[in-house]
Structure 1
Amino acid sequence: MSGEKQPECSYVLFFLFSPHRLHAHRSDADLEEAVAEVLDHRPIEQKRCPPCHVSVELVGSCTTLVTERILQGAPEILDRQTAALLHGTIILDCVNMDLQIGKATLKDKTYVEKLEALFPDLPERNDIFDSLQKAKFDVSGLTTEQMLRKDQKTIFKQGIRVAVSAIYMDLEAFLQRPSLIADLRAFCQTHIYDVLVAMTIFFNTHNEPVRQLAIYCPHAALRMTVSLRPRFTLRALQSSACTCCPLLGSHSYTEVP
């Protein structure tokens, strides 16, 4: 209403989950002082973590830690819709709690069961996993930039800024996309990356995940360094068995641990 004094917001607090830091070279990096806490399930890069309380626990899904906080600190805010979001995310992150894959921990299992006990009408695990997995791998209609940003991490190493993007399709299909090199070049220029690593993921006929790497680097000298050191790249990505194929080079590599 005109003339009526509006309530003022004196401060805003942010809580960072996985990934645990704000992006450098972006306007949101200025918000770092407003971060109240970091909650993550991966090792923390201490030099790049905001100066606040940091909680790290190695579980399969960071959502498990969020669920734990809610149930221990504010269980009254948990309704069925929120429970469904938490439940589905943990199941997806932990690959349907598959013991053979080994991503789920005892804590992940415990909090999935707690949510199911509180809300018995939650979807069956197999149903929700199949539905979410299908949606996750559906990249139809996405531009190359949207695919690169869909699941992206940033690595800083020796002054080099590297983008690592999970691409949910076969490497050969990705390489056949029209204007791919121009799109990769534009992506690196726009977001200020020195190297772009596209890690394609698809499932073979045995329903096993297959990962392949394609590396794009517009700088000739740096490209040679990256191309000749695939083992370093693979270790940095903590990948298992990958095919490494530089987009702007004449060599290809395969590493099996």
Structure 2
Amino acid sequence: MSKISKFLDLIKRQALNEVVLVCGNQSADLDSIASSISYAYFHYQKYRFTKGLVIPLLNIPEKDLALRKDAEFVLTQNGIKRSQLWFTDDLSKFDQFKLIMVDHNVPQGEVAKSRLTHVVGIIDHHQDEQKYLDSAPRVIEECGSCSSLVLNYWYDLIGEDVGECATLLASAIMIDTTNFTQRVKSHDEKALETIKMLGIYNVSAFTTNFEKIQESKSDLEGLSMNDILRKDYKQFVFDGNTVGVSSIVKPFSWLDKHFDIDKETKSFGEEHKLDLLVLMTAYTTNDQFKREISFHDVLKDLSERCIKGMKDKLDLNRISGNRFTQNNIKASRKQVVPYLEQTLTNTD
């Protein structure tokens, strides 16, 4: 049994007093999952329980972990079982809790609605919303993967003891940076140097593992359209407009072969009480990385407003109707969401 696995078993046996949850964002992708588990483990390595019980919580219901086949693959690789994890289903077990956010910097999802008392720490690589300025740590830096920031922060505190989670974090960094070839910033480079120093880096092995994780991430076999929309989903409120954004690993042409997209998006939007649902596809064909985007009005007519406001920023070319090729392939959801906010809060 790995030390991480033993740690997760240990915290399951603790009394839930003075709890601090370390939680990723509501999409609960591999980066958020790796960052939260690793942060909690490193905190235990440094402080044991002298600074409270820090529990890693996945910001999704337990049943939704099955939608994230890449995360399940990596967790199994690292000896971590689903039964050892905490999910939003477990929030009712806490009378109250403090929060450390990784991979986001404003509380999201069910965590934001629960018995949160205050935010005590942030490590994130998204746009800084300028909240919780007294939290410590408060590390919000641009880079490819939040896992890089988590690794770098804790390496400065516990040194080579980060090696216990290095493989878990490296897997997330590889996916977010396409095996260290895209969106790589200085923090990612520093994390890679640490991974190399720890002696776990092998170009061939990492490439093979990256391909396996990527294959798992792209596997939508057996999933309904509702599952696919929930698989990597975030929800926001911009100037009174509720907006959902789903990231999907297949092109619209693939989705059309399997689903009635208009019917499914309407149903999903009504279920989540959305004003607007945005689909973002990202996939590789003939060794070329491509993006598409579509806008689906549910309760309000917002799509044309968004198209007009974001057309130049995303370099959109209309495919048909509300669907577009997104030629600005560097703009992932991390960049698109602030564009949506700017557009929907602009009163000009």
TM bin, normalised by shorter chain, reads: 0.7 to 0.9
Shift of 1:65: 0.7
Determine which structure has greater relative contact order: mean sequence separation of CA pairs < 8 Å that are 6+ residues apart, divided by chain length.
2
Secondary structure of 1:199's counterpart equals strand
- Separation of aligned partners in 2, 1:7 and 1:104: 39
Residue 18 to residue 28, structure 1, CA distance change in 2 (3 Å):
same
Of Structure 1 and Structure 2, which has the larger fraction of its residues in helix?
Answer: 2
Secondary structure of 1:91's counterpart equals helix
Q: State the match for 1:16 in structure 2.
A: 101
Rg larger in 1 or in 2?
1
Matching residue within 277, 293, 302 for 1:213: 293
The share of aligned pairs that are identical, in percent, is 20
The 10-residue stretch of structure 1 (51-60 or 176-185) with the greater mean CA deviation from structure 2: 176-185
Cα deviations across residues 166-217 of structure 1 (Å, max 9, x unaligned)?
Answer: 1110112223433544432332233232111011111121x22111112221
Secondary structure of 1:128's counterpart equals helix
| Match runs of 1:1-257 below 5 Å | 8-14=15-21, 15-23=100-108, 26=110, 28-46=112-130, 49=131, 53=135, 54-75=138-159, 77-80=161-164, 82-98=165-181, 101=182, 103-120=183-200, 124-205=205-286, 207-219=287-299, 222-223=300-301, 225-227=302-304, 229-233=306-310, 239=314, 241-243=315-317, 250=321, 256=327
Contact 1:96–1:126 (CA under 8 A) maintained in structure 2: yes
Q: Which runs of 5+ in 2 are unaligned?
A: 1-12, 22-99, 329-348
Cα deviations across residues 217-254 of structure 1 (Å, max 9, x unaligned)?
Answer: 123xx33x42254142457xx74x445568xxx46555
The 10-residue stretch of structure 1 (189-198 or 225-234) with the greater mean CA deviation from structure 2: 225-234
Cα deviations across residues 33-86 of structure 1 (Å, max 9, x unaligned)?
Answer: 24321211121223xx45751321111111011001221123465344x21111
Residue 33 to residue 88, structure 1, CA distance change in 2 (3 Å):
same
- One-letter identity of the residue aligned with 2:166: A
Secondary structure of 1:90's counterpart equals helix
Q: Report the TM-score, using the length of structure 1 for normalisation.
A: 0.77
Q: RMSD of the alignment, in Å?
A: 2.9
Shift of 1:125: 2.8
Secondary structure of 2:19's counterpart equals coil
Residue 92 to residue 18, structure 1, CA distance change in 2 (3 Å):
same
Matched pairs, number:
235
- One-letter identity of the residue aligned with 1:167: I
Residue 18 to residue 121, structure 1, CA distance change in 2 (3 Å):
closer
